[in-house]
Amino acid sequence: MLTFMASIFILIFGYIIYGKVVERIFGADDHRTTPAYSKHDGFDYSPMSWWKGSLVQLLNIAGLGPIFGAILGALYGPVAFIWIVIGTIFAGAVHDYFAGMISLRHNGAQYPTIVGKYLGKYAQSAINIVSIALMVLVAAAFTAGPAELIAQITPLTFTTAIVIVFLYLLIAAVLPINKVIGKIYPIFGGILLFMAVAVGFGMLFIFENPIPNLTFENMHPGELPLWPLLMVTISCGAISGFHSTQSPILARTLKKESEGRKVFYGAMVAEGVITLIWAAAGMTFFGSTGGLQEAIAAGGAAGVVNEISQTTLGTLGGILAILGVIILPITTGDTALRSSRMMLGDLLTQTTKLDFAGKKAKLLLIVPVALPAFLLSQIDYSFLWRYVGWTNQVVATVMLWTAAIYLLKQAKFHWICSVPATVMTGVTATYIFYAPEGFGLDYSLSMILGTILWVVVMVWFVWQVYQEKRQGYPSVAQSKVS
């Protein structure tokens, strides 16, 4: 109990204190005109109130990630609390803030464009492929998951359910942001928060078992290693590269730069709180990590959510659980398609020098990303999700290095980005060698190879620091326009 309550307070104070530190280092300036006004088109660029933007951002970045990921991460025991708290404050929220604010400073540019500006054209070319692939995988996975549940609780077939879900994704992805996303999604964001708060009260007053206190012991029943699996299992709710593709969507709606801390840093902290609650619920409700593993094996993560919700809120909880498992992934899938359409538009504009900003172009651009997403959605959901995990954290790592170089070029305190980037480089470098969806190598060998790859990246960054110092930070003079 003490560990859980302390974790909640640390997350809140992290937003209040460290969020302000990050904002000051970045240099938010309300005298600047934001893209919502300078490039207003009533479609993607449109002013939105900060509170509405925060709820939309929360729903965009969250979906089922902070629920399902938290439940799977709870198998490791209370040590997961440490990763959620530290990851959220010092990595995830920093990542989201810089993804959104650097985009804002570059007229709402998409993630690959930002990477290209600070890491070079080769990095941009690679990350264009990786990030668009991630968006397609997310859209496919978040179509298949809800469709499976719809087919189970209605007379509709799985194929019919997929078609219905995907048609909605297409419509939401091409409509102006204020037509559907800006009006309806804040309500869904409120449902996500309500479910988390209700479960939190349930742990305090209804659940029979006490919330476990902190232990550094790895309690995973399958004896899976903490490093690096925990950091990939709990991504949404600690740090997730998917967020760097979503933050530019909201960067095009901010009325002033000071709202960035509330919309980007704040939404990530809120997601951290939600993740913490569901992780604690998973550890508590079933009495042990072994009991949780049996529940997951019997009904999957969705079954665990349903059982906990019904116990906490009765019939209402069951309804909310079903709505959550259906609606939340759908609202992430459509913004995944939306951001992939934006990325493809930026890529084609840069390579062909043609204008892809018109409404007709936006409608055409959705086709090449929607078609593969629809075809992939008919593959097993769990198979798709395995490949989302590592790709997701690679994208997050690259975004942190991009932000570190951004700060380095302006002679600002780059450590707030380069330190978490260093940690995430170690995570992704080791995971790809060890994980079954990677090379599936022995753990010790994976650690060695991962360390070698990590050293290569560290040498590259040290060289970047040396180059900037030797040249006397030439970018500082251009900081007003960057």
Q: Which pLDDT value is given to residue 200?
A: 83
389 CB-side CA count, 13 A: 25
Q: Which pLDDT value is given to residue 236?
A: 85
Q: If DSSP codes are grouped into helix, strand and coil, which group holds residue 454? A: helix
Q: Which pLDDT value is given to residue 293?
A: 94
> Which range is most confident: 89-93, 141-145, 171-175?
89-93
Q: Which pLDDT value is given to residue 476?
A: 44
Q: Is the dihedral of CA 20, 22, 24, 28 positive or negative?
A: negative
Place of tokens 């009006």: 183
Which residues have C-beta within 8 Å of that of residue 265, sequence separation ≥ 6? 15, 19, 22, 23, 93, 94, 96, 97
Residues 408-456: pLDDT tens digits?
Answer: 999 999 999 999 999 999 999 999 999 988 899 999 999 999 999 999 9
Answer for the pair 388, 141: CB distance below 8 angstroms, yes or no: yes
Chain-centroid distance of CA 128 in Å reads: 17
> Which range is most confident: 103-107, 173-177, 285-289, 329-333?
103-107
pLDDT at 124 over 60: yes
Chain-centroid distance of CA 96 in Å reads: 8
Token digits for 339? 């951001």
CATH classification code of 2-388? 1.20.1740.10
Which range among 248-262, 283-297, 463-477 shows the weakest confidence by mean pLDDT?
463-477
Amino acid at 193: L
157 CB-side CA count, 13 A: 4
Task: Outline where 410-442 has alpha helix (H).
Answer: 415-434
User: What average pLDDT does range 137-143 have in this prediction?
Assistant: 82
C-alpha to C-alpha distances, 230 to 152, 239, 441, nearest whole angstrom: 31, 12, 18
**Torsion angles phi and psi, residue 238, rounded to 5:** -140, -70
CA dist 65 and 73 (Å) reads 11
Residue length of the chain: 482
Token digits for 247? 């933050």
Residues 182-232: pLDDT tens digits?
Answer: 677 777 777 777 878 888 888 877 787 888 888 889 999 988 999 999 999
User: What average pLDDT does range 250-260 have in this prediction?
Assistant: 96
Burial of 448 (0-12, 13-18, 19+ CB in 10 A): middle
Per-chain mean pLDDT for the chain: 87
CA dist 321 and 199 (Å) reads 11
Residues 340-392: pLDDT tens digits?
Answer: 888 888 778 777 777 766 667 767 778 888 888 888 887 766 666 677 888 89
CA dist 34 and 12 (Å) reads 28
Residue 335 burial (CB count, 10 A): 30
